[in-house]
Amino acid sequence: MAYQIRRHVAKKLLSVCNQKGRTEFTDQFLDKVACSIQMNDVSKKSCIDKPNMKISETVMKKNGIHIDSSVSPAAAATENHEDLEFIRGKKEIAIKYDSKYFTKKVLKEIISENSRAGLNSQLHRFYKKNGGQLVARVIPENVIVEFSSPNIAKPFHAGHLRSTIIGNFVANINEALNNNVTRINYLGDWGTQFGILSVGFKKYGCHNRLKSDAMKHLFEVYVAVNKDVESEEKDSGVSKTRQLALQHLTRMETDDGDLHDEWKLFRDSSIDSYSAVYKRLGIHFDEYHGESMYYKSAHDVLNEAELAGILSTNSKGIKFIDLSESFGGQSVSANLLKSDGSTLYITRDLAAILDRYRKYQFNRIHYVVEQGQNLHFKQMVAILQKLGHQWINNCDNLHIGFGRVQGMSTRQGNVVFLSDILDEAKLRMLKIMSSKQSTKAAESVEETADILGMSAVIVQDLKQRKNRDYDFDWDRMLDNRGDTGVSLQYNHARLYSIEKNCGIEMNLCSALESLTEAEAIRLTLHLAKFDEIVNECYSTLEAHSLVTYLFKLVHLSNAAIHGLSVKGSPKTVAEDRLFLFVCARIILSNGMKLLGLKPLKSM
């Protein structure tokens, strides 16, 4: 936080270091130095007596900021009671700032920015790249985030859950930093699976059940017809049902009217079911796309590849592109068209990204898909490069992969749908809450339990580094005493309760002179790091560091609540402490919203 503090420190530092005798510096130069200044860790109790900022000499040098080696930074002159001390080490310069001025600057900025605190920082104008060099970022950018993307009639499994949670975070943090974000849910609504579903619905389907619970009924049909396929293949080696399904798909791609009507019914019913669950999670999509949109334009991709002279046909009549050169000589190829003339997933994906580039002129596009699909996206990039679409080279983090989730099951058995997961979390939270005394209305308890359950699911996922597998643990996830989504909600409600019930009004004009206790200083130092954490998450598109930051914020704010009473304290002291707790609540709320949580005011 308090970017102006960094700016002031940078100006003083350059002056004290006698930067080649210069006394004036351009705004851009000062920005580079200021953005290199970092807040120190505040986890240790002794931190309040240590320097609270630092700057790496290596980073400074990489950005063309050279310190005169004949000058040793010492205590800087005091200006307007803004005491600064520079301590030069082997690899960095440590900076100690007057605690009273620092506290006032940080907390006043948080109150001023409120819901935008930590998100308006000048720090976000830069990102670290190429070994620490600071490079200006163009804002705003046009960003597409494709996430969740379930398949019609197939279970909304843990992979889709992770894609939904991580993708929402990626979209949230881009939106928070003022990028123009388009959220796309790309449904698997085409291909052989639809042909099998179409055949199965004629045998096992019920239109009334489709209206009442589309997803579960379509899944039941899909499971039943696939059992037929397996049985037929086991008995004779050939499945008539699968052959009929492939014929359906071929007819679909040649504009069969009846099959298109049926497909539209299945697709629309599925979207209605999904939308209700996404609304419950507080997640929205700007557009629902699907493979079905691109089976025709996929042939344009084939024509483009043909004209470029890179499309080949094998002995079975399958059209493919040889990518060995792009993969360092490895024998890699990508099939784009089946022998029966129907398109494949990658062909439709290529048509989709080309259409999106024309429509949105995106700077970046992110596909939030499990890491097992890494080869698919590498092939996509290689094909686009071969086709001459060089803009693809500027799309950092095109594929945001993630690991698997193990052990996710309910009392009724294996979880299949996202709604089952959320219902189970809600039921378990209701059981925990019912064991404690509560005077809330039943409706409030139901809603609170639902929000707590969703918070628990989201935070257990985002606290992991996204590329790692993890074990889903219901009990640990719902514990309000550990580092969980429930504990974040509990702390937010507690801070809000202090604000509401302390019996005094916050004094916006306070000089905040009384916040000299260790608990207050450590909490303020941690609040000041929020913009750095946001910047890190934006650069890496990884939520783990933000979740860790919020857990530490909970611990520090709890320590401050225990040690710094508002009620019963002298008026000025009480006002200053209330100011601090309101700032802590604002930063906690802003961080929780980035994760996709709805902060609770009471529990």
Cβ–Cβ < 8 Å for 35, 81: no
Phi, psi torsion values for 367, nearest 5 degrees: -105, 115
| Residue 522 CA from chain centroid, whole number | 28
Torsion, Cα of 230, 232, 233, 235 (10° steps): 120
The SS3 assignment for 23 reads: coil
Catalytic residue check, 157: yes
The neighbouring-strand residues paired with 333 are: 322
Question: What ranges make up the beta strands (E) of 447-555?
Answer: 470-471
Query: What is the greatest pairwise CA distance in the chain?
Result: 90
CB atoms inside a 10 Å sphere around CB 405:
20
Closest CA to 502 of 562, 575, 599: 575
Residue labelled with tokens 């009924």: 217
* Catalytic residue, candidates 12, 157, 289, 526: 157
The neighbouring-strand residues paired with 53 are: 39, 95
* Catalytic residue, candidates 12, 105, 160, 463: 160
Catalytic residue check, 160: yes
Catalytic residue check, 154: yes
Residue 1 CA neighbour count, 13 Å, CB half: 28
Burial of 385 (0-12, 13-18, 19+ CB in 10 A): middle
* Catalytic residue, candidates 50, 154, 376, 544: 154
Cβ–Cβ < 8 Å for 290, 186: yes
Q: Which tokens belong to 512?
A: 């905040």
Residue 242 CA neighbour count, 13 Å, CB half: 13
The SS3 assignment for 187 reads: strand
**Bridge-based pairing state of the strands 53-56 and 92-97:** antiparallel
Residue labelled with tokens 């930067």: 19
Q: Which positions are catalytic?
A: 154, 157, 160
